[in-house]
Copies of this chain bind each other. A is one copy, B any other.
Amino acid sequence: MFSTFGTMFRLTTFGESHCRAVGAVVDGCPPRLALVEDDIQQQLDRRRPGQSRLTTERDESDRVSILSGTENGLTLGTPIGLLVPNRDQRPADYGSMSDIPRPSHADFTYQEKYGIRAASGGGRSSARETVGRVAGGAVAEKLLQEWFGAEIVAWVSSVGEENAADVDPETVTRTAVDASPVRCPDSGAADRMVERIARVREASDSVGGVVSCVCRKLPAGLGEPVFGKTEALLAQAMLSIPATKGFEIGSGFAGARLQGSRHNDTFVRKGDRLGTLTNRSGGVQGGITNGEPVMFRVAFKPPATIGREQHTADFSGRPVTLAAKGRHDPCVVPRAVPIVEAMAALVFADLALLQAARSWGRDGGRR
């Protein structure tokens, strides 16, 4: 259940860490949208590990194939099948853990839920599952670009206790983000983050972080009251990413400490539209976009797999000591950047179709 996301622009993902392939089906994408494999590959490449010394070095080349739903580089309006073969189909380093549930992993809970679990790796809870999301999100992004010229940019704003200084959400670009190996556009903070990750790696430990995201040039009017508020769907989307622990939009938790007279975004004329002087709302009011940039932040816990010894228990409750072997990401937030962008794109593509459904245009839905 629940491997499908979205009401009108629907992504269904499949695949776990060591099966034959991971992939996705995108259903509901409008017809005649330009789409080729390279559009998708770009974001998959940003998600891939092994891009720098900061991340795990397993080789996952992750070449995507479009199986269906396009012809001559245009979408047909039919489901788009996306496939990425798993290279590493047989587990190696993981075998020894099988009777010990790894702390803060999903081994125990999958076993409790299903009475069975994939013999190795994280199965469906593994980051490998996010390949399908990034692929599907790239399709969603093409739609948002074509309809609105929308821009979605995420970046690393914290690693452990190292925080980026304010990044201008009106102007930050993916190019600026990718300029540093930690994907932090504040170069001073980026250096400190790199150093921090190196220290953590040396200590066979791991560290958490925060990803910030801005979505620009979206029209006002997206978002569905009541349960489909923009922030509600973004929150679901972000908390569905492995290792996330929190979500905030606009002023977020800090806003809870303010008084209304300081928090309210008053209106001003901005060219031919009504805008707000400040943006503590984060681009949404009453769950509906107001035309200002949508801004949110996502907290990621430190990766659960660490080389340091942990005193824990096996499935039978017997105390054991565990230390992970093999290579592991000490910090996932740089790789999480395109995943956050993908999930945001999926939310807004869906909301755009839902809003479009309210009127019958002269073209009768043919674009």
Specify the chain B residue showing the minimal Cβ separation from A248.
Answer: B246
Query: Which of B247, B306, B308, B317 contacts A269 (CB under 8 A)?
Result: B317
What is the copy number of this chain in the assembly?
4
A28 at the interface (CB under 8 A from B): yes
How many Å lie between the Cα of A95 and that of B292 in the bound state? Answer: 27
A7-B7, A235-B236 known; A115-B366 Cβ under 8 A = yes
A235-B247, A285-B109, A313-B274 known; A13-B226 Cβ under 8 A = yes
0/1 string, A193-229, CB within 8 A of B gives 1: 0000000100101111110000000011111111111
How many Å lie between the Cα of A74 and that of B235 in the bound state? Answer: 33
Specify the chain B residue showing the minimal Cβ separation from A367.
Answer: B359
CB distance from A322 to the nearest CB of B (A): 9
A76-B16, A108-B274 known; A114-B366 Cβ under 8 A = yes
A2-B227, A207-B260 known; A274-B239 Cβ under 8 A = no
* Contact in complex: B301, A227 (CB < 8 Å): no
A168 at the interface (CB under 8 A from B): no
0/1 string, A272-295, CB within 8 A of B gives 1: 001010001110111111110000
Query: Which of B118, B266, B367 contacts A103 (CB under 8 A)?
Result: B266
0/1 string, A25-63, CB within 8 A of B gives 1: 101101110000000000000000000000000000000
A3-B227, A68-B21, A354-B1 known; A285-B239 Cβ under 8 A = no
Give the residues in chain B near A231, CB-CB below 8 Å.
239, 244-245
A302 at the interface (CB under 8 A from B): yes
Give the residues in chain B near A326, CB-CB below 8 Å.
none
How many Å lie between the Cα of A68 and that of B89 in the bound state? Answer: 11
A250 at the interface (CB under 8 A from B): yes
Give the residues in chain B near A284, CB-CB below 8 Å.
109
* Contact in complex: A81, B299 (CB < 8 Å): no
A365 at the interface (CB under 8 A from B): yes
* Contact in complex: B119, A71 (CB < 8 Å): yes
Give the residues in chain B near A304, CB-CB below 8 Å.
260, 263-264
Interface residues on chain A, size class: 35 or more
A80 at the interface (CB under 8 A from B): yes
Specify the chain B residue showing the minimal Cβ separation from A250.
Answer: B245
* Contact in complex: A355, B113 (CB < 8 Å): yes
Specify the chain B residue showing the minimal Cβ separation from A117.
Answer: B76
How many Å lie between the Cα of A269 and that of B319 in the bound state? Answer: 8
Give the residues in chain B near A268, CB-CB below 8 Å.
312-313, 317, 319
Give the residues in chain B near A106, CB-CB below 8 Å.
225, 285-288
How many Å lie between the Cα of A106 and that of B305 in the bound state? Answer: 44
* Contact in complex: B249, A109 (CB < 8 Å): no
* Contact in complex: B20, A68 (CB < 8 Å): yes
A233 at the interface (CB under 8 A from B): yes
A129-B226, A251-B245 known; A116-B74 Cβ under 8 A = yes
A167 at the interface (CB under 8 A from B): no
A22 at the interface (CB under 8 A from B): yes
A315 at the interface (CB under 8 A from B): yes
Q: Beyond the given A76-B114, A226-B240, could you list 8 further A-B residue pairs with CB under 8 A, ordered by the A residue number? A: A2-B228, A31-B116, A67-B83, A221-B364, A245-B248, A245-B250, A245-B282, A256-B301
Jot down 8 A-B pairs with beta carbons below 8 A, ordered by A. A1-B357, A8-B8, A72-B119, A115-B366, A124-B225, A227-B237, A264-B310, A274-B317
Which 10 pairs, one residue from A and one from B, show the smallest C-beta to C-beta distance? A106-B286, A2-B228, A269-B317, A246-B248, A206-B260, A236-B236, A109-B288, A125-B286, A115-B366, A235-B235
